[in-house]
Structure 1
């Protein structure tokens, strides 16, 4: 029996999967680490906490009952995107990592826009948002000059963990695409952008593909994890890229719908010239010479959990949603916009807030529950709509996360997206994608697609209902009007919050 390990370095914990050649998860281990919010809007972690947690998780896998650690051939990674780790000349962090969900860098985003203008989208294919890495670099240089003076190189979270395991520094294209420093189409660090912000090229690590071999384990890492020093360590990818791989999104026409706290619509793209005007993210895929486009709903599953917490705190989700499939599309003329914490796609607006529109005396709680589910799906459909408007084919959607746990919601997605929706038998997300990169890198399969045929197992399929599709088309156009018609109202209400 041979194995690979997929490591998913998340925001709250690291999760490691031990996977066989047939794609079965033989064991898994997880370790949490702290998150620091020293000031409002700040979000930081200690990079060495990631390393210690990862080593502990690997040790648990290597000593799992019935597992021969010598049979573990490769390791790869999925990592939280955008987080800034600044290293000194000795490879040590000069400060805590600033994470993707840190929002202190609004002024730096405006500076980037002012300096680069239209060149920003032409080079990076993405707008300047607080979550990206370059604004964080500029913030540290401006506010912590002594720490910045020590820094000789930056990496992203998973890259630091891999460096501590192998002694080698690299960054893959899918994660580099989220730094706002990569020429995404050319797959090189942008010399023009680096010069514009007086950053030397040596500040950026060498670029590699996600399946590339980056080394083997250092003797100390091998001893502490219980793994053989000969284990091959592969670059890995950004969490969304690995989530796409782990869901089989590896060819044109395939799209991923992931509903967690936030929601993601991600679609495979092989045309590097496709222009979405910065309305959706455009990143390098974990598959070589491929890309993906992505839209984000900030409060997807969070909207439903808010509704449950507020109106049914003592009930299970099954109780809350019992009968929701019997409510006709449109929830009796009730619309919900899931802007509880602002919105990302297509409205990058931190001030907009949620609305229920069309409430009347006939509505019961179940109508509100269905309206929340429809509103979340309408928000995700904004991205699908933009993909199609740009000429993309979206005819098959793999649904994962909370939205894939309820059959009525899966049918709702098929009807609103007007596409076949498929759930997965064994949903492991980015961790499985990382394991697949290791399996491909080890030579188990001739391609990621061949690996996906064995590792990614589809479950139920939902076809769009023509009558519901037509109903939702009209409702979606009404939904799209709510943002513009409530924006000024929410700006006024902000003073009373």
Structure 2
């Protein structure tokens, strides 16, 4: 059977054709993030649709017969985004994204003891989640708030465009702070705290459930032989887990994507909000997971490439085979704040301990290590919650760098494994979920491991010492005030 996985990411949309477990074709289209104010992060849903159409148009041009035979479509998407619709289905304002920090002050209201947020939602209130974004809209854009008929996450909005149905899977819904994660149901008290009710939410489904069929105009446009079923799908991390077969308790993966994720599948609901560890539903029924999240993983390298004017691949090549020099420095990857373990949206990062002998290669190495140390922070947070990770697979664009993968293994002190198709994990997972929705076949095999990275004893010992020093950066950066802007009249 042929299925289609569509991954609506932050930096782009990806569409993947899958026949059983064989990837047939892939198409991508890029997206931009708008930052109208410091700490803000938005996208226009119309751009998501344009990018999706671009991908499917490309697949139709390159694989017309395969695309025509698709039986089901699965969706994956960036989590937490607040997409607000009016009664006529129109978008009321740009979507406020997962890495937007404007609603930090609104989080306190959700931590009121009577709400029992951490027990119900499995998480502490963070501005990245959806609920505080709606409190911000209610306070700062009341005319928009008064017109809200539906609140959708990004992939739920894409589903609405594809099949006209309002539905959301459990894994993505877990990131709103409105879901009773243990019960896998919307929480009336948590919705009410934001001035909302269940009528404004999409219906809840498991990731493997069918939610509708593709609308006739899109069936005609892309030449499908029959209207494909649209599966519930998954939030991007849960889709990545399905893509690498992390569906059983004890399975783990490291995602070196735009954001960074350390994932562990669990048999039950195990909240650990005090260390900013996320406890979410998996896209697989009766399964949950714990997760640590950092906001700028591979995004840090992308930022450095833009600032330095040097391509990412060239930056990595420049570091290969070079040892630490007299210009060694530190990097704190808090470019848009941080989640696990600090829950600090106001935090900012940067290079420290620069000297006249510091080179671009020194700074790139510090960046790779700084991201790895932030992952170690997450590893320790999950460990304090009782989750010990013995080994993990690698997914995400950053996982294509052997240098970065080896550094991660040395710092985390565990074996890490590059797997086939890891850069397409979310779209692959979505396509796999579509197969279950179509005929019940759960083809969740783990992809072949292409290369494994074992911790190197001497490097691991070095990083043990260096990590203890690196951890001091958080306190020092947190105490630094933001530079005051220069008045325009100056």
TM-score range, shorter chain: 0.7 to 0.9
Write the deviation string for residues 168-205 of structure 1: whole angstroms up to 9, x where unpaired.
Answer: 22111111111111111111111222333442322222
Q: Which residue of 2 aligns with 1:9?
A: 8
Could you say if the C-alpha distance between residues 66 and 444 of structure 1 is closer, same or farther in structure 2, counting changes exceeding 3 Å?
Answer: farther
CA distance in 2, matches of 1:185, 1:444: 25
CA distance in 2, matches of 1:81, 1:259: 16
Write the deviation string for residues 421-456 of structure 1: whole angstroms up to 9, x where unpaired.
Answer: 1012322121111111112222363x3xx4334xx2
1:434 aligns with 2:434: no
Could you say if the C-alpha distance between residues 442 and 457 of structure 1 is closer, same or farther in structure 2, counting changes exceeding 3 Å?
Answer: farther
1:459 to 442, 447, 450: 450
CA distance in 1, matches of 2:234, 2:469: 38
How far did residue 305 of structure 1 move? 4.4
Aligned partners of 1:56 and 1:225 also within 8 Å = no
Could you say if the C-alpha distance between residues 47 and 301 of structure 1 is closer, same or farther in structure 2, counting changes exceeding 3 Å?
Answer: closer
Aligned partners of 2:409 and 2:454 also within 8 Å = yes
Structure-2-length-normalised TM-score: 0.88
How far did residue 132 of structure 1 move? 1.8
Could you say if the C-alpha distance between residues 35 and 297 of structure 1 is closer, same or farther in structure 2, counting changes exceeding 3 Å?
Answer: closer
CA distance in 1, matches of 2:123, 2:282: 15
CA distance in 1, matches of 2:117, 2:291: 18
1:417 aligns with 2:408: no
1:245 to 242, 249, 263: 242
Q: Which residue of 2 aligns with 1:91?
A: 89
Aligned counterparts, 1:196-215, within 5 A: 196-215=193-212
CA distance in 1, matches of 2:319, 2:13: 37
How far did residue 14 of structure 1 move? 2.3
Aligned counterparts, 1:217-228, within 5 A: 217-228=214-225
1:378 aligns with 2:367: no
Structure-1-length-normalised TM-score: 0.87
Could you say if the C-alpha distance between residues 182 and 415 of structure 1 is closer, same or farther in structure 2, counting changes exceeding 3 Å?
Answer: same
Aligned partners of 1:63 and 1:226 also within 8 Å = no
SS at match of 1:140: helix
Q: Which residue of 1 aligns with 2:137?
A: 140
CA distance in 2, matches of 1:364, 1:62: 47
Could you say if the C-alpha distance between residues 360 and 202 of structure 1 is closer, same or farther in structure 2, counting changes exceeding 3 Å?
Answer: closer
Structure 1 residue ranges without an equivalent (≥5): none
How far did residue 117 of structure 1 move? 6.2
1:494 to 467, 476, 483: 483
Q: Which residue of 2 aligns with 1:112?
A: 110
CA distance in 1, matches of 2:410, 2:231: 40
Aligned partners of 2:16 and 2:27 also within 8 Å = yes
How far did residue 212 of structure 1 move? 0.3
SS at match of 1:347: coil
Write the deviation string for residues 350-391 of structure 1: whole angstroms up to 9, x where unpaired.
Answer: 444446566678866544433332221011110011212222
Structure 2 residue ranges without an equivalent (≥5): none
How far did residue 316 of structure 1 move? 6.4
1:175 aligns with 2:164: no
Aligned partners of 1:45 and 1:96 also within 8 Å = yes
2:459 to 446, 465, 468: 468
CA distance in 2, matches of 1:87, 1:354: 35
Aligned counterparts, 1:351-430, within 5 A: 351-354=346-349, 366-427=361-422, 428-430=424-426
Aligned partners of 1:106 and 1:129 also within 8 Å = yes
Could you say if the C-alpha distance between residues 352 and 264 of structure 1 is closer, same or farther in structure 2, counting changes exceeding 3 Å?
Answer: same
SS at match of 1:15: strand
How far did residue 70 of structure 1 move? 4.3
How far did residue 76 of structure 1 move? 0.8
Aligned partners of 2:107 and 2:127 also within 8 Å = yes
CA distance in 2, matches of 1:101, 1:293: 19
How far did residue 32 of structure 1 move? 4.6
SS at match of 1:28: strand
